[in-house]
Amino acid sequence: MTSQLKPHLRRLEAEAIFIMREVVANFANPVMLYSIGKDSSVMLHLAMKAFYPAKPPFSLLHIDTTWKFREMIAFRDETVRRLGLNLTVHTNLEGKASGINPFDHGSSNYTQVMKTEALKQALDAGGYDAAFGGARRDEEKSRAKERVFSFRTTSHGWDPKNQRPELWSLYNTRIGTGETIRVFPLSNWTELDIWEYILAEQIPIVPLYLSEARPVVERGGQLIMADDERMRLKPGETPVKRRVRFRTLGCYPLTAAVESDATTIEDIVEEMLLATTSERQGRLIDHDESGSMEKKKREGYF
């Protein structure tokens, strides 16, 4: 019940709802990027609220690299069924056919082909003029400078120097033919806000966020879960069951687990308050170099 939310969560909720309605009122063909993670779960929950009693008047889009955790895919299909929404799943078939994978091609190439290129293909195919994403400003430095309505060129590129000033809640929604806008309704949320909100609203999340004994190998100081038989083990590596959970979810070979005993959302919130590393620590694709998120975004990454 909304009135029981803490004041700052209520303010964030109202802001996100306003942003979503602004998109629906101004764009012909919006779509919501659904990545199955905690932020996407919150964003979807907010969309259910924003348009109630109507269903969200747009479909969901998932970019499936084919390397997601199996539990994520199961959760995705269950969520779409439960809420009665439309979901489009897109995979870069060319990339798949040429066997692009996270083991042989390096995280940077793999991300470019299976995520960034795949996303651009799906956006072009759908003719979407606006796409919601669950990114938050507290995630990363170049994200901290991102607009709520982020303008993209006809080739989906992000030019950080050519973004529109964004004052009050007056979002400039005008675009030319072929240009698009990425919209981030969770811009002002922090990781802690996300968890507190999930707790308060009892939003379903993928069980991978909660601790359980899972088969992992230790690699360069990171714990990688062997989610299926495609996991390439190096000589001497044997998956060992350890109590782990994930702070962020993506492609399993590129997503590190943390050791944890947090089995409830309350535990997670508590754990977060004492955390000494950031959530993106577990994202191997961010570690190439410190400006790498900005570079990926310029190329069209979310």
50-79: contacts with other proteins (CB under 8 A): 50-55
Q: Is 276 in the site for other proteins (CB under 8 A)?
A: yes
Helix (H) / strand (E) element for 191: namely: helix 191-201
Q: For residue 291, state whether it binds other proteins (rule: CB under 8 A).
A: yes
According to DSSP, residue 131 is labeled: E
d(CA 191, CA 23): 24
Burial 6-16 (b: 16+ CB within 10 A, else e): eeebeebbebb
Q: How far apart are CA 209 and CA 211, in angstroms?
A: 7
Binding of residue 261 to other proteins (CB under 8 A): no
What is the residue whose two structure tokens read 């700052």?
Answer: 8
Nearest approach, Cβ of residue 26 and other proteins (Å): 9
CB of residue 172 to other proteins, shortest distance in Å: 5
Residues in contact with other proteins, total (CB under 8 A)? 65
In whole angstroms, what is the distance from residue 60 CA to residue 123 CA? 12
How far is Cα 68 from Cα 253, in angstroms, rounded to an integer?
9
Tell whether residue 176 is a contact of other proteins (CB under 8 A). Answer: yes
Quick note: the x/- pattern for other proteins over 119-148, rule CB under 8 A, is ------------------xx-xxxxxx---
Per-residue x/- track, 8-37, other proteins (CB under 8 A) = x-xx-xx--xx--xx-xx------------
CB-neighbour burial class of residue 33 (10 A; exposed 0-12, middle 13-18, buried 19+): buried
H-helix segments, 84-187: 93-97, 106-111, 118-126
- What are the residues facing 19 on neighbouring strands? none
Among 28, 84, 167, 177, binds other proteins (CB under 8 A): 167
Site string for other proteins, 195-234 (x = CB under 8 A): -x--------------------------------------
CB of 5 to other proteins, least distance (A): 9
* Chain residues in the site for other proteins (CB under 8 A): 1-3, 6-8, 10-11, 13-14, 17-18, 21-22, 24-25, 48-55, 137-138, 140-145, 160-161, 163-170, 172, 174-176, 187-188, 190, 192, 196, 266, 269-270, 273-278, 280-281, 290-291, 294
